A = this chain, B = another copy of it.
């Protein structure tokens, strides 16, 4: 029988490995869009089953550790955080597949406009994902909180993308279909950022035992 610590380390490694694949997938999905490269989009779609398998493996490892080790306090918080982070990572993979599908749909239409804000959103949410995972494996509360601060910036970029695309559609009905695809890409990137925020909140809870979702912290201080 292996040590609990070793098994927790294995769980950490698996989450990092999954996070790495999810990050690569998000990156590829946006590159396929910007470079109008269908091969990259197809790779994203092809890699999805691997992410799904990883989710199932991690879930079953976590459940096994909960059952066999009967952890309490911080170890228990680690395992429940791992379970939630696993779900968030898998959903991020789904969102990258949505982006890849939009990229393929956009390839069949002429380009609408130069891509500026969408790649910028992508850089931001990818760094949120990497920082939130880094915060998790290093139990680094400060880094987790820095991820929470990036969320407003993502929303600002999304608003800029929406506003501009609505203008384009109003001026030129022939771009409607492409513009709707791009609006969904921006929406999917925003949601990837939301999942990174969820992960960061789970990290703070795991490290401190304090729930920062829905500003529960401020409410506690007020009471």
Contacts and interface: CB of A to CB of B under 8 A. Distances in A.
A76 B66 contact: yes
A195 to B, nearest CB: 11
Contact of A80 (B55, B66, B170): B66
Contacts of A134: none
Interface stretch (A2-10, A123-131, A148-156, A171-179): A171-179
Contact of A214 (B56, B66, B83, B180): B56
Q: How many copies of this chain sit in the oligomeric assembly? A: 2
A142 interface: no
Interface string A60-92: 100100110011110011001001100100000
Interface string A90-120: 0000000000000000000000000000000
Chain A residues touching B, majority SS: helix
Interface residues of A, number: 37
A16 interface: no
Q: Which of A87, A180, A211 has the most CB of B within 10 A?
A: A180
A49 B83 CA distance: 24
Interface string A153-189: 0000000001000100111011011001001100100
Interface of A: 49, 52-53, 55-56, 59-60, 63, 66-67, 70-73, 76-77, 80, 83-84, 87, 162, 166, 169-171, 173-174, 176-177, 180, 183-184, 187, 211, 213-214, 216
Given A56-B216, A170-B173, 9 more contacts: A52-B216, A53-B214, A55-B213, A63-B77, A66-B80, A83-B83, A162-B180, A169-B173, A173-B173
